[in-house]
Amino acid sequence: MAARLFLLLAVLLSLCASAGAEDRDLDALIADPAEWPIQTGDYQNTRYSKLDEINTGNVGKLRPVWSFSTGVLRGHEGGPLVVGDMMYVHTPFPNTIYALDLSKDAEIVWKYEPRQDPSVIEVMCCDTVYRGLAYDDGLVFLHQADTTVVALDAATGAVRWQAKNGDPATGMVNTATVLPAKGRLIVGTAGGEFGVRCHLTAYDEKTGERLWRAYATGPDADMLIDPDQTTVLGRPVGADTGQDSWEGDQWTIGGACPWGWFAYDPELDLVYYGTGNPASWNPVQRPGDNKWSNSIFARDLETGKARWIYQMTPHDEWDYDGVNEMILTDQTVEGTPRKLLTHFDRNGFGYTLDRESGELLVAKKFDPAVNWAKGIDTDPASDTYGEPVRDPAYSTDQDGDGEDVVTEGICPGALGAKNEQPAAFSPKTQLFYVPTNHVCMDYEPFRVAYTAGQPYVGATLRLYPAPAGQGFEAEGVMGSLTAWDNLAGEIIWAIPERFSVWSGVLATAGDLVFYGTLEGNLKAVDARTGEELYRYRTPSGIVGNVTTYAHKGRQYVAVLSGIGGWAGIGLAAGLTNPDDGSGAVGAYQSLSRYTAAGGVLTVFALPG
């Protein structure tokens, strides 16, 4: 009896700990700067906070106030959620979840440990990362590496429902977060390097019932495309383009996985996201534009039907996935208010589109080293409107055979001028703050046969820093934090970094921009000038996303450190062959002189 009473009391206390947050809907939580209920902070992916207790005048006094070890030594991407008194922290595989009570010195209220077959690690292409949880209406949503979607009771950790979203035996896995919106949970997939046919799915948040599923390739019925109503740059898409732009049945193993971030416009009721690379990496083996890989989609939240599509890199020859976040802003263009979407693509171009119509307004290089294309045609009257103007010198099909011919000096490298690490936007400065990779590559394709569950890549890479003078005068610069004007398509300022900036960025009303480095430094810079105002060395390299919240009237900044991801795969997985990690092990070999594996959440505040 005593044991049962103790258990009942524990449950009641945990319910009370989250009281005051569960009775507010997600829109209200997002609007409250004290909370951080989804990974990107808001539906628009701005990663901007209205909190300003920490500002340019006092950030130099910031100090760590507590930390928490996750117990896992792989790449820690994403960040914690904060809802009321509760913080929810995730880990890479095996995707353990901790609920911490912030009112009780971060006491562990509950812990959820999924039971996953460890063989799923073998089909995760670029480390066992996970980009984090989402919260809505008393539920915490987890999408495990093995593609199991789980809804957990936020107060107790009890499983409310779970659904299988894919089959790891074919190479389909998950690394992305999910997006809850209006009772629907938007869920993606990964596995393009294994030739899977990927999809985006909506589940009912309360029951786990599958509401719709939209494939990235194939016939219109599978893709939820209306050939007369769905548009591409203002024109009807035409029938079965996701099938006919591939040779034969290549679309069935075409990849195009939505493993990045999702955005939502409540007024238009549209979900925005990007698709990944086509499979295989050898372009000769898949003639055609390979639609709709490397594309931006706008879909109706309720039905999943595609409103408009734009393909950034047709017939991708370089592994330039288009999955990076779509940032939604309302800005004035030439005197007219417009609803915009800004996207920093792996291919090195920063795109600004009208998110209602899909019209392309701006497409400029946000890394000066980019050379695979000379530009993007942004003239609506042109027959090549929206298409890249490629430089044939950097095609990876130099001999027409697609085998054993090395193309040298391609910029950016396959990990992109920017990877999944999300940028931020400040409505105060009207600038975007972009974490970049300043990296080039040599690319050697080879023929590869498809076998379900086996790598279907077909290329060997060598990655290295872009040459001096291509954006930065110093030798060995591999990344930057870049401030970008999305209307002019111009770099305002850029801070060079020794290694790629692989953390997500945070902008605040205190006129600050926070980001982390692969060496493990948390940095704060002036949002207007880029002047560094603060740095602190955390226990491991940072590939997580910086977040902020307020508790009992005090502002905090939190970040996960734990080296990994594609750039840190050598340290995370103990790899030493420079060719491993698609060339990343060799490119980031010197990183081992600055950091080591870890898994720690560090929380900062002003003295008080």
Q: How many whole angstroms separate alpha carbon 500 and alpha carbon 382? A: 36
Alpha helices in 282-331 (DSSP H): none
Phi, psi of 484 (to 5 degrees): -130, 135
Listing from the earlier edge strand, what are the strands of the sheet with 407-410?
407-410, 439-445, 459-465
Question: Considering only CA atoms, which of 484, 462, 465 is closest in space to residue 474?
Answer: 465
Task: Assess contact for 309 and 316: CB atoms under 8 A.
Answer: no
Count of C-beta atoms within a 10 Å radius of residue 199: 25
Helix, strand counts (H, E) of the chain = 6, 40
Q: Which candidate in 319, 321, 345, 367 is catalytic? A: 319
Question: Considering only CA atoms, which of 555, 550, 546 is closest in space to residue 78?
Answer: 546
Listing from the earlier edge strand, what are the strands of the sheet with 148-153?
134-136, 139-143, 148-153, 159-164
Locus of tokens 């920063």: 350
Q: How many whole angstroms separate alpha carbon 457 and alpha carbon 318? A: 11
Amino acid at 62: L
Contacts for 497-500 with beta carbons within 8 Å, 24 or more apart? 499/567, 499/588, 499/591, 500/415, 500/419, 500/435, 500/436, 500/437, 500/438, 500/439, 500/567, 500/588
User: What tokens does 204 get?
Assistant: 């009912």
Locus of tokens 């209920």: 37
Neighbouring-strand partners of residue 51: none
Q: How many whole angstroms separate alpha carbon 242 and alpha carbon 226? A: 12
Q: How many whole angstroms separate alpha carbon 407 and alpha carbon 397? A: 8
Residue 536, judged by CB atoms within 10 A of its CB (0-12, 13-18, 19+), counts as: middle
Residue 182, judged by CB atoms within 10 A of its CB (0-12, 13-18, 19+), counts as: middle
Question: Considering only CA atoms, which of 60, 67, 113 is closest in space to residue 90?
Answer: 113
* Secondary structure letter of residue 505 according to DSSP: P
Locus of tokens 């790598």: 455
Q: How many whole angstroms separate alpha carbon 138 and alpha carbon 158? A: 11
Q: How many whole angstroms separate alpha carbon 589 and alpha carbon 570? A: 8
Q: Is 319 a catalytic residue?
A: yes
SS3 content of the chain, % helix, strand, coil (to 5): 10, 35, 50
Q: How many whole angstroms separate alpha carbon 215 and alpha carbon 201? A: 9
Sign for the pseudo-dihedral over CA of 194, 143, 417, 356: positive
Q: Would you please indicate which residues are annotated as catalytic (active-site) residues?
A: 319
